[in-house]
């Protein structure tokens, strides 16, 4: 089982690099960041340093989207980073939540995301694409690289797309029941599409906080329930609150949601997340002393999870990374 760290590119960028080095020193093999270019610093600039300073680490966004940048720009960014690093990038892809909504634009459609994935992946591989009625490649890429395209999603249509087209599945919560439900749905779609479901990597991403003060831990990561709630609200709008297409374990808690302020996105103390109950935090996140983390990681591993990525937006960052490096990673083999 691999482990990754997910960071916001808050200034100074030197702090992002410091935490990435700290994670790598503790055996973490993936370095991820948010990608909302107005809320935080531009991540692709920082990736070049993350890759150069951590030669064993794979780096990428969790997640980018096809609406912020032209698709050819995204492809060129990844191809350039791959040329510099020996191909150590991964593309986490989504429809665009904070990156687009904050600037007054809606998330992209799944069909648009699917089309963009093929264009970006082929350009990075040195292949010709037809884009905006013009056929071309990036001539400097040469033979190129196979860019892993991992897609984030919760709902039936997104899970179906992941099973049909993606190289990896990112699920942004660590509730074993929902992990099992989404994996089964996604793998069924992969099988129906004639793919080997085992070829699709599975990454669970959620806050993890090692400590003994459960009340403080919950308050530090309550923001995560609000972030997930943004996506769940979209699903409820599409399928309805009582639909069997959306598990009640995922949707019930947002009934008390009253909007969302992206100025506090992904941060402890977010006033838009007071509606998130402790029970949801305990399911979606990984809290408590180190033995509880080992227990949850083993459960996720047994469900087929290939990577656990820690959202590290809380006040015990180094403590948690050290606890994982010294205790959790060795216990998981």
Q: Write the CATH number of the domain with boundaries 2-332.
A: 3.20.20.30
Alpha carbons within 13 A on the beta-carbon side of 329: 20
At 66 the pLDDT is: 98
Rg of the chain, C-alpha, whole Å:
19
Count of CB atoms situated within 10 Å of the CB of 289 = 13
At 99 the pLDDT is: 93
Ranges of residues in the chain with a pLDDT under 50 are none
In the chain, where are the structural domains located?
2-332
At 12 the pLDDT is: 97
At 271 the pLDDT is: 87
- Strand 30-33 to strand 58-61: parallel, antiparallel, or no bridges (unpaired)? parallel
Cβ–Cβ under 8 Å, residues 8 and 35: no
At 264 the pLDDT is: 80
């Amino acid at each position: 089982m691999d482990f990754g760290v997910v960071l916001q590119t808050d200034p100074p960028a030197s702090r992002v690099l410091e935490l990435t080095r700290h994670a790598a020193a503790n055996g973490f093999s993936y370095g991820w960041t948010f990608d909302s270019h107005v809320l935080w610093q531009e991540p692709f600039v920082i990736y070049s340093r993350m890759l150069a300073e951590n030669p064993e680490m794979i780096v990428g966004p969790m997640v980018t989207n096809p609406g912020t940048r032209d698709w050819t720009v995204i492809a060129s960014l990844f191809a350039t980073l791959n040329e510099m690093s020996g191909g150590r990038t991964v593309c986490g892809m989504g429809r665009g939540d904070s990156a687009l909504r904050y600037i007054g634009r809606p998330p992209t459609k799944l069909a648009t995301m699917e089309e963009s994935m093929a264009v970006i992946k082929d350009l990075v591989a040195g292949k010709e694409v037809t884009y905006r009625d013009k056929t071309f490649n990036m001539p400097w890429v040469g033979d190129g690289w196979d860019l892993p395209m991992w897609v984030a999603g919760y709902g039936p249509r997104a899970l179906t797309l992941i099973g049909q087209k993606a190289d990896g599945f990112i699920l942004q919560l660590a509730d074993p029941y929902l992990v099992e439900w989404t994996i089964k749905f996604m793998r069924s779609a992969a099988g129906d599409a004639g793919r080997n479901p085992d070829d699709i990597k599975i990454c669970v991403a959620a806050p993890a906080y090692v400590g003994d003060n459960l009340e403080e831990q919950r308050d530090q990561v309550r923001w995560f329930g609000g972030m997930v709630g943004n996506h769940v609200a979209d699903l409820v709008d599409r399928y309805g609150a009582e639909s069997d297409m959306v598990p009640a374990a995922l949707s019930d808690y947002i009934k008390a949601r009253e909007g969302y302020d992206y100025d506090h996105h992904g941060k402890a103390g977010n006033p838009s997340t007071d509606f998130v109950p402790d029970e949801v935090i305990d399911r979606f996140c990984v809290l408590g002393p180190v033995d509880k983390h080992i227990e949850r990681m083993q459960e996720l591993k047994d469900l087929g999870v290939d990577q656990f990525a820690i959202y590290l937006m809380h006040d015990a960052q180094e403590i948690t990374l050290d606890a994982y490096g010294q205790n959790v990673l060795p216990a998981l083999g």
